[in-house]
């Protein structure tokens, strides 16, 4: 009897905490994506899409917008216009407009990072136009834009087409010495979202953009290009390579007070498309040419990438971090961006064509 | 102490190792990577190993003291060695220290829980549930405590397996270059690390109840080694994953590590980790609650430990509300940690030296 009473007593105690923090799932609103744009008078326009779970509801999603001076204030007001408690627990994407990113993202990142419910794995992106315009896209494949974005980012990141960056990545790159953040850059179409490149930051401010080819080089140099297709137009035909493995070594060093960056890139690739009548199987010179073409193209793209990053004075490759760990005496955080901008870059690329598919 | 009482509560040497692990690993695991990143930088691992080394030396003195007084606890032999007045002062210091530690660790526990899981529940409700459960365990004595700890060790180990995905995302550049720390910083950070290791002082109280007293040192060191490996694991992952500067901006890095990763099917792991960590914090609080109530029982010669526990319960509850915010909580935790380091390192050494000089020995177990 004594034990039964004790069990009842302990169970009753457990229930008492639920009285305050109980959140019924049908009374909770989970935004799937949020867009943030600059508004007038130092305010921001926050828009969030909430899926509606009730079967009888005429719409499947609901978008609520609000102008406010900060993210927390904005959602406090949005809370008064929704039935149910807003939770960032299922939030998967936040899109900032390019205009807003140029002014700086730190205050929004702080609000998200401080929130224990917001996942650190939520994906951040920059839109080349007003971020809120995403609501005008009529997605053909899926009804809900938040879900579409989640799938789009997952598949493109897996195919090495997207520099996928999370809240956690941005926070880390923002505070670490010798590394700057970067985010994917989006363009809205009528029926789809296109990833057109990379938004480059210095600290929390957007300072420039990279196009698709430079983004490709960036991902190769960041070890993010694990597997995926590379296309190249050579003379009057197309060559498609499938990257099986990419190994990159970035070596910063000082020589005569001049910063040098040595870039070694080695790729193992398969041939997946070769739109010419020439046979490779009995032509070693042609095989070598196919390898050299890709090596030359990637070397050029890497140099363009470095030129742009040096112009922007943004070290998104984390070369300063490498220098700091290998030669701490040479790294000066205060002058790093200037040193990086003046660095001499030497890129060498080696391509090994391993397989030809099932055609000769 | 009566031999019949010792026999009744006797625990195995293996259980001693579990008690040390469960007592040491508590609140520190949530904030240790941040503290170490600030004081020792990328050489934090070195400070953690050295900190364990200092505690190993301290455990050796505790063991020697215990062997000299095999049937007595520090509450009893401090009287024999220093006389009734100074001895009582030492006993009172241990009771005060254990009571304060119970209160502030319990307060930290409810603060973390309020931050992540129960933001709307009044902390007094969570605190009273936590303390009552702990009181219930402590009231059943050392043997029950040891059995629960042994069981929980195997239940709670998966909490650290949850951190494995972040291990594979560690950027090793963040841990380089090694051996950059100066001697002064190394001493400071080793001292800071020692705060996270407080807990082995429980041996001062439970030594008479351990079956094979000649193997107490080996069992204690085994427990300490597991604690050290746990701290090394979370600190290396914390610094490696975030880097030194970002880490210093994260209040509870070990939980935030899990916030950063998204594991398919399981989703958010940090809430599951906190669910397991509740038991980790519970064992630490229970150990100190046990130390406080058992010491008080011995000092005031209560019939039953439950009376002293009941007497301490409202005091602990009240003390837990002294810190007004999270900054004050950390300040109070640092204060009791320093208090603990003095009581665990300096007092046993001093008592042993005085006992040897005055040639004071306890009764042999076989004689009793």
Structure token pair of residue B349: 């050494």
Closest-CA residue to B260 (of A108, A119, A179) = A119
Contacts of A300 (CB under 8 A, 6+ apart): none
Beta bridge partners of A206: A201
Write out pLDDT tens, residues B316-330. Answer: 999 999 999 989 998
Confirm if A192 and A215 have CB atoms less than 8 A apart: no
Q: Is A151's Cβ below 8 Å from some Cβ in B? A: no
* B364 pLDDT higher than 80: no
CATH of the domain at B144: 1.20.1740.10
For an interface test with A, which of B121, B134, B273, B326 has the most A Cβ atoms less than 10 Å from its Cβ? B121
Q: Measured between beta carbons, which residues in chain A are less than 8 angstroms from residue B177?
A: 325-326, 328
Which strands sit side by side in the sheet containing A123-127, from one edge to the other?
A: A61-68, A44-51, A33-38, A93-97, A123-127, A182-188, A193-202, A205-210
| Cα–Cα distance measured from residue A261 to residue A251, given in angstroms and rounded to the nearest whole number | 6
Closest-CA residue to B130 (of B253, B277, B268) = B277
Phi, psi (degrees; rounded to nearest 5) at B263: -95, 125
Q: Measured between beta carbons, which residues in chain B are less than 8 angstroms from residue A21?
A: 117-121
SS3 B84: helix
Q: Which residue has the higher pLDDT, A17 or B295?
A: B295
User: Could you tell me how many CB contacts below 8 A there are between chain A and chain B?
Assistant: 69
Q: Is residue B271 part of a domain?
A: yes
What is the per-residue pLDDT for B367? 47
Q: Measured between beta carbons, which residues in chain A are less than 8 angstroms from residue B260?
A: 120-121, 166, 168
- pLDDT-derived band at B4 (thresholds 50, 70, 90) equals low
Contacts of B195 (CB under 8 A, 6+ apart): B28, B333, B334, B337, B338, B340, B341
- pLDDT-derived band at B354 (thresholds 50, 70, 90) equals very high
* A124 pLDDT higher than 90: yes
Q: Measured between beta carbons, which residues in chain B are less than 8 angstroms from residue A177?
A: 245
Structure token pair of residue A236: 């009057």
Please give the residue range of the domain that contains residue B142: 14-357
Structure token pair of residue B38: 């600030």
Confirm if A328 and B180 have CB atoms less than 8 A apart: yes
Confirm if B203 and B59 have CB atoms less than 8 A apart: yes
Confirm if B341 and B195 have CB atoms less than 8 A apart: yes
B88 burial type by CB count under 10 A (0-12 exposed, 13-18 middle, 19+ buried): middle
Residue A89 to residue B268, Cβ atoms within 8 A: yes
For an interface test with B, which of A16, A28, A118, A175 has the most B Cβ atoms less than 10 Å from its Cβ? A175
Residue A176 to residue B246, Cβ atoms within 8 A: yes
Closest Cα of chain B to A329: distance in Å? 11
Q: Is residue B365 part of a domain?
A: no
Q: Is A123's Cβ below 8 Å from some Cβ in B? A: no
Q: Measured between beta carbons, which residues in chain A are less than 8 angstroms from residue B115?
A: 116
| Cα–Cα distance measured from residue B253 to residue B44, given in angstroms and rounded to the nearest whole number | 15
* B183 pLDDT higher than 90: no
* B365 pLDDT higher than 60: no
Beta bridge partners of A268: A245, A352
For an interface test with A, which of B132, B262, B275 has the most A Cβ atoms less than 10 Å from its Cβ? B262
Q: Tell me the average pLDDT of chain B.
A: 89
Strand-pair category, A93-97 with A123-127? parallel
What is the per-residue pLDDT for A353? 82
Q: Is residue B87 part of a domain?
A: yes
How many distinct structural domains can be found in chain B? 1
Residue B243 to residue A325, Cβ atoms within 8 A: no
Structure token pair of residue B215: 């193997």
Give the mean model confidence (pLDDT) for residues B171-199: 87
Q: Is A104's Cβ below 8 Å from some Cβ in B? A: no
Q: Which of A50-59, A256-265, B267-276 has the lowest mean pLDDT?
A: A50-59
| Cα–Cα distance measured from residue A229 to residue A243, given in angstroms and rounded to the nearest whole number | 6
Phi, psi (degrees; rounded to nearest 5) at B361: -135, 155
Write out pLDDT tens, residues B124-168. Answer: 989 998 999 999 999 988 999 999 999 999 988 888 888 888 888
SS3 A259: strand
| Cα–Cα distance measured from residue B164 to residue B240, given in angstroms and rounded to the nearest whole number | 13
Nearest residue of A to residue B125, measured between CA atoms: A17
Q: Which of A121, A171, A175 sits opposite B262 (nearest CB)?
A: A121
Give, to the nearest 10 degrees, the angle between helix B216-242 and helix B28-40: 70
Beta bridge partners of A269: A243, A353
Closest Cα of chain B to A130: distance in Å? 28
Q: What percent of chain B is modeled with pLDDT above 70?
A: 97
Residues of B with CB under 8 A from a CB of A: 115-122, 125-126, 129, 132-133, 136, 173-174, 176-177, 180, 242-243, 245-246, 249, 256, 259-262, 268
Phi, psi (degrees; rounded to nearest 5) at B27: -75, -35
Closest Cα of chain B to A121: distance in Å? 5
Q: Measured between beta carbons, which residues in chain B are less than 8 angstroms from residue A328?
A: 177, 180
| Cα–Cα distance measured from residue A66 to residue A78, given in angstroms and rounded to the nearest whole number | 7
What is the per-residue pLDDT for A360? 57
What is the per-residue pLDDT for B350? 93
| Cα–Cα distance measured from residue A351 to residue A288, given in angstroms and rounded to the nearest whole number | 9
- pLDDT-derived band at A15 (thresholds 50, 70, 90) equals low
Q: Is residue B86 part of a domain?
A: yes
Closest Cα of chain B to A27: distance in Å? 16
For an interface test with B, which of A87, A88, A116, A331 has the most B Cβ atoms less than 10 Å from its Cβ? A116
Closest Cα of chain A to B284: distance in Å? 20
Residue B121 to residue A17, Cβ atoms within 8 A: yes
Closest Cα of chain B to A41: distance in Å? 30
Q: Is A20's Cβ below 8 Å from some Cβ in B? A: yes
| Cα–Cα distance measured from residue B361 to residue B1, given in angstroms and rounded to the nearest whole number | 14
Radius of gyration of chain B (CA): 20
List the domains of chain A with CATH numbers. 24-210 (no CATH), 223-360 (3.30.300.210)
Q: Is A175's Cβ below 8 Å from some Cβ in B? A: yes
Give the mean model confidence (pLDDT) for residues A220-249: 78
Q: What percent of chain A is modeled with pLDDT above 70?
A: 92
| Cα–Cα distance measured from residue A261 to residue A253, given in angstroms and rounded to the nearest whole number | 7
B272 burial type by CB count under 10 A (0-12 exposed, 13-18 middle, 19+ buried): middle
Residue A116 to residue B261, Cβ atoms within 8 A: no
What is the per-residue pLDDT for A222? 84
Structure token pair of residue B198: 């407080």
Q: Which residue has the higher pLDDT, B243 or A283?
A: B243
Q: Is A115's Cβ below 8 Å from some Cβ in B? A: no
Give, to the nearest 10 degrees, the angle between helix B123-139 and helix B270-300: 50
The 10 Å CB-count burial string (b at 16+, else e) for B124-136 is ebbbbbbbeebbb
| Cα–Cα distance measured from residue B271 to residue A89, given in angstroms and rounded to the nearest whole number | 11
Q: Measured between beta carbons, which residues in chain B are less than 8 angstroms from residue A89?
A: 268
Nearest residue of B to residue A13, measured between CA atoms: B129
Structure token pair of residue B90: 């030492």
Structure token pair of residue A298: 């990637």
- pLDDT-derived band at B117 (thresholds 50, 70, 90) equals confident
| Cα–Cα distance measured from residue A10 to residue B124, given in angstroms and rounded to the nearest whole number | 16
Structure token pair of residue A279: 């046979």
CB atoms within 10 A of CB A160: 20
Q: Is residue B40 part of a domain?
A: yes
Q: Measured between beta carbons, which residues in chain B are less than 8 angstroms from residue A166?
A: 260
Q: Is residue B146 part of a domain?
A: yes
Nearest residue of B to residue A116, measured between CA atoms: B116
Q: Measured between beta carbons, which residues in chain B are less than 8 angstroms from residue A318?
A: 173
Q: Which of A13, A19, A119 sits opposite B259 (nearest CB)?
A: A119
Give the mean model confidence (pLDDT) for residues A152-163: 75
What is the per-residue pLDDT for A241? 81
- pLDDT-derived band at A180 (thresholds 50, 70, 90) equals very high
What is the per-residue pLDDT for B366? 44
Contacts of A36 (CB under 8 A, 6+ apart): A44, A45, A46, A47, A71, A94, A95, A96, A97, A100, A108, A131
SS3 A86: strand
Q: Is residue B296 part of a domain?
A: yes
What is the per-residue pLDDT for B274? 87
Q: Which of A177-186, B52-61, B112-121 has the lowest mean pLDDT?
A: B112-121
Closest-CA residue to A89 (of A59, A112, A69, A64) = A112
What is the per-residue pLDDT for A161? 64
* B15 pLDDT higher than 90: yes
> Residue holding tokens 């002064």?
B184
Q: Measured between beta carbons, which residues in chain A are less than 8 angstroms from residue B136?
A: 6
Give the mean model confidence (pLDDT) for residues A113-140: 90
Q: Is residue B133 part of a domain?
A: yes
What is the per-residue pLDDT for A13? 66
DSSP E strands: which ranges in B279-346? none
Q: Which of A120, A322, A328 sits opposite B260 (nearest CB)?
A: A120
* A155 pLDDT higher than 70: yes
Q: Which of B122, B180, B249 sits opposite A328 (nearest CB)?
A: B180
Q: Which of B122, B180, B246 sits opposite A172 (nearest CB)?
A: B246
Residue B126 to residue A17, Cβ atoms within 8 A: yes
Q: Measured between beta carbons, which residues in chain B are less than 8 angstroms from residue A326?
A: 176-177
Q: Is A166's Cβ below 8 Å from some Cβ in B? A: yes
Instruction: State the DSSP string of A29-56.
Output: E--SEEEEEE-STT-EEEEEEEE---TT
Q: Which residue has the higher pLDDT, B168 or A67?
A: A67
Q: Tell me the average pLDDT of chain A.
A: 86
- pLDDT-derived band at B273 (thresholds 50, 70, 90) equals confident
> Residue holding tokens 């042994």?
B150
Residue A13 to residue B132, Cβ atoms within 8 A: yes
- pLDDT-derived band at B217 (thresholds 50, 70, 90) equals very high
Closest-CA residue to B353 (of B94, B133, B68) = B68
């Amino acid at each position: 009897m004594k034990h039964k009473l004790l069990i009842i007593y302990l169970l009753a105690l457990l229930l008492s905490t639920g009285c305050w923090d109980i959140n019924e799932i049908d009374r909770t609103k989970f935004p799937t994506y949020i867009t943030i744009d600059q508004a007038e008078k130092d305010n921001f326009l926050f828009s969030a899409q909430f899926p509606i779970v009730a079967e009888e509801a005429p719409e499947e999603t609901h978008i609520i917008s609000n102008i406010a001076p900060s993210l927390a204030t904005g959602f406090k007001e949005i809370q008064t216009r929704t039935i149910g408690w807003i939770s960032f627990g299922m939030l998967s994407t936040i899109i900032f407009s390019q205009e807003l990113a140029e002014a700086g993202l730190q205050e929004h990142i702080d609000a998200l990072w401080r929130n224990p419910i917001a996942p650190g794995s939520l994906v951040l992106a920059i839109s080349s136009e007003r971020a809120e315009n995403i609501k005008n896209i009529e997605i053909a494949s899926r009804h809900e834009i938040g879900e579409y974005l989640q799938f789009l980012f997952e598949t493109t990141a897996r195919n090495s087409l997207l520099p996928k960056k999370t809240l956690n990545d941005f926070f880390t790159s923002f505070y670490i010495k010798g590394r700057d953040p970067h985010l994917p850059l989006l363009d809205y179409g009528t029926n789809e979202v296109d990833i057109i490149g990379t938004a480059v930051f210095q600290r929390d401010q957007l300072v420039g953009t990279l196009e698709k080819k430079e983004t490709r080089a960036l991902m190769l140099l960041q070890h993010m290009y694990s597997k995926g297709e590379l296309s190249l137009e050579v003379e009057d035909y197309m060559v498609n390579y499938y990257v099986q493995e990419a190994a990159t070594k970035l070596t910063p060093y000082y020589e005569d007070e001049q910063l040098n960056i040595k870039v070694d890139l080695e790729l193992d690739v398969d041939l997946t498309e070769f739109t010419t009548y020439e046979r490779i199987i009995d032509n070693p010179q042609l095989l070598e040419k196919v390898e050299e073409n890709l090596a030359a193209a990637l070397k050029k793209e890497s140099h363009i990438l470095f030129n742009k990053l040096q112009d922007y004075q943004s070290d998104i490759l984390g070369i300063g971090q490498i220098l700091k760990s290998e030669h701490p005496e040479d790294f000066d955080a205060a002058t790093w961006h200037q040193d990086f901008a003046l660095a001499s870059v030497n890129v060498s690329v080696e391509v090994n064509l391993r397989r030809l598919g099932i055609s000769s | 102490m009566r031999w019949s009482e010792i026999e009744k509560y006797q625990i195995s040497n293996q259980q001693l190792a579990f008690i040390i692990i469960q007592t040491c690993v508590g609140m520190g695991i949530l904030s240790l990577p941040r503290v170490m990143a600030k004081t020792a930088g990328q050489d934090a691992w070195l400070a953690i190993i050295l900190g364990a080394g200092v505690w190993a030396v301290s455990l050796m003195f505790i063991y020697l003291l215990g062997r000299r007084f095999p049937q007595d606890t520090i509450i009893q032999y401090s009287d024999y060695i220093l006389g009734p007045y100074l001895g009582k002062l030492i006993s009172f210091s241990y009771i005060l220290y254990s009571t304060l530690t119970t209160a502030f660790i319990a307060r930290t526990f409810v603060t973390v829980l309020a931050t992540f899981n129960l933001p709307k529940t009044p902390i007094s409700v969570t605190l009273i549930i936590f303390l009552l459960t702990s009181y219930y365990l402590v009231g059943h004595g050392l043997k029950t405590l040891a059995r629960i700890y042994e069981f929980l060790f195997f239940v709670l180990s998966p909490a650290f397996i949850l951190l494995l995905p972040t291990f594979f995302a560690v950027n090793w550049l963040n841990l380089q270059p090694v051996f950059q720390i100066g001697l002064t910083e190394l001493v400071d950070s080793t001292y800071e690390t020692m705060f996270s290791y407080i807990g082995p002082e429980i041996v001062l109280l439970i030594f008479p109840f351990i079956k094979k007293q000649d193997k107490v040192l080996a069992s204690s060191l085994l427990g300490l080694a597991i604690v050290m490996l746990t701290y090394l694991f979370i600190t290396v992952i914390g610094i490696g994953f975030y880097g030194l500067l970002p880490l210093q901006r994260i209040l509870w890095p070990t939980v935030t590590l899990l916030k950063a990763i998204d594991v398919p099917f399981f989703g958010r792991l940090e809430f599951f980790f906190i669910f397991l960590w509740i038991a980790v914090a519970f064992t630490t609080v229970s150990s100190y609650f046990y130390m406080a109530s058992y010491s008080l029982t011995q000092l005031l010669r209560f019939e039953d430990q439950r009376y002293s526990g009941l007497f301490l319960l409202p005091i602990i509850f009240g003390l837990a509300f002294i810190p007004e915010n999270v900054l004050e909580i950390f300040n109070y935790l640092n204060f009791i940690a320093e208090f603990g380091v003095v009581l665990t390192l300096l007092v046993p050494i001093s008592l042993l030296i005085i006992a040897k000089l005055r040639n004071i020995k306890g009764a042999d177990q076989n004689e009793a």
